[in-house]
Amino acid sequence: MIGSQVSHLRFRRRVGLLAAGALEGRDQERTRAHVEACPRCRREYAELAAVVAAIEADPVRSAVPELPVSALLDRVDRQIDRAAARPPVAWRRLALPAAAVAALAVVLLGPELASRLGPEPPAPAPTRATVAPDPAAALSAEMLDRLDRNMARGSTARYLSEAQDVLLAVAATEADCVREEDRVDVGEAPDRSRELLARRALLVEGRPEAVASARAVLDDVEMALREVADLPSCVRRRDVERLRREVDQRHLHMRIRLMTRELEG
């Protein structure tokens, strides 16, 4: 009894393969014999064969591309040329965060660097054995924190502003890359979007509380940038129009402008 069940289970998987026309020779014969002797398998085979028949009636199987091969070759050539004309993305992705880190280091380490590299400072006044909290030191920590916070907000404002430039550039693009197919060349916008998305991660990781009020706008901008980042540089005009409508529906430009103003104080 158990043996026949094991045998049945073994054949069950083959029923699918039989329906898919993927069995040959002895395997096919044995499975077919099992199916004929087993009412449940027969029913299963009939249903799976109907699925296969439905797939085989799908007109996609014989679809012919409307675009001639010469036109596709032209598109491929252009894409290769455009990619060759651009510097590697990875290098450019690193450049902006690296510059931001360098700028932050200068601001935070500035006094320390100045004290090491600048003229000899006057000798400190003698200190007492018990040191009271130094209001100047506390003030400078507070100032540094405020400076850091302001920098985070400033970086976010610049990020939003640059993101807006990209979205506006995409929406306004008129340069046809393959005129007959109603496609437009969005140029570097996908690459710039990817760079901005890389910066966006740094913004949120850095001082999340400093830009908490911008979170909703940042999220919507991120979605829009992801859309742009996914575009090929030669894109269907209607895809650009759809993106523009989506941005408009979310009033993204107005929200970016308001948030940028708020962040810049």
Judged by the rule CB under 8 A, the positions of this chain that interact with other proteins are: 13, 15-17, 19-20, 22, 47-48, 50-52, 54-67, 69, 72-73, 75-77, 79-80, 83, 223, 226-227, 230, 232, 236, 238-239, 242, 245-246, 249
100, 159 contact by CB (below 8 A): no
Q: How far is the CB of 238 from other proteins (least distance, A)?
A: 6
152, 211 contact by CB (below 8 A): yes
Q: Select 44 or 148, whichever has its Cβ closest to other proteins.
A: 44
Q: Select 57 or 90, whichever has its Cβ closest to other proteins.
A: 57
Q: For residues 159 and 20, give the distance between their C-alpha atoms in angstroms, rounded to a whole number.
A: 53
- H-type helices in the chain, by residue range? 2-19, 25-37, 39-56, 69-85, 89-117, 135-172, 189-206, 215-229, 237-249, 252-264
Task: Report the Cα–Cα distance between both ends of the chain, in Å, rounded.
Answer: 81
Q: How far is the CB of 168 from other proteins (least distance, A)?
A: 18
Q: Select 69 or 125, whichever has its Cβ closest to other proteins.
A: 69
Q: How far is the CB of 38 from other proteins (least distance, A)?
A: 16
Q: Select 157 or 228, whichever has its Cβ closest to other proteins.
A: 228
| DSSP string over 88-135 | PHHHHHHHHHHHHHHHHHHHHHHHHHHHHHSSPPPPPPP--SSPPP-H
Q: How far is the CB of 108 from other proteins (least distance, A)?
A: 37
- Count of all residues that appear for the chain in the document: 265
Q: For residues 192 and 93, give the distance between their C-alpha atoms in angstroms, rounded to a whole number.
A: 9
Q: Select 45 or 207, whichever has its Cβ closest to other proteins.
A: 45
Find, among 159, 146, 265, 149, the residue nearest to 210 by Cα: 149
Q: How far is the CB of 14 from other proteins (least distance, A)?
A: 8
Q: Select 101 or 201, whichever has its Cβ closest to other proteins.
A: 201
Q: Select 195 or 222, whichever has its Cβ closest to other proteins.
A: 222
Residue 232: DSSP 8-state = -
Q: Collect all residues with Cβ–Cβ distance below 8 Å to 180 and sequence separation of at least 6.
A: 71
Q: How far is the CB of 84 from other proteins (least distance, A)?
A: 10
Q: How far is the CB of 113 from other proteins (least distance, A)?
A: 44
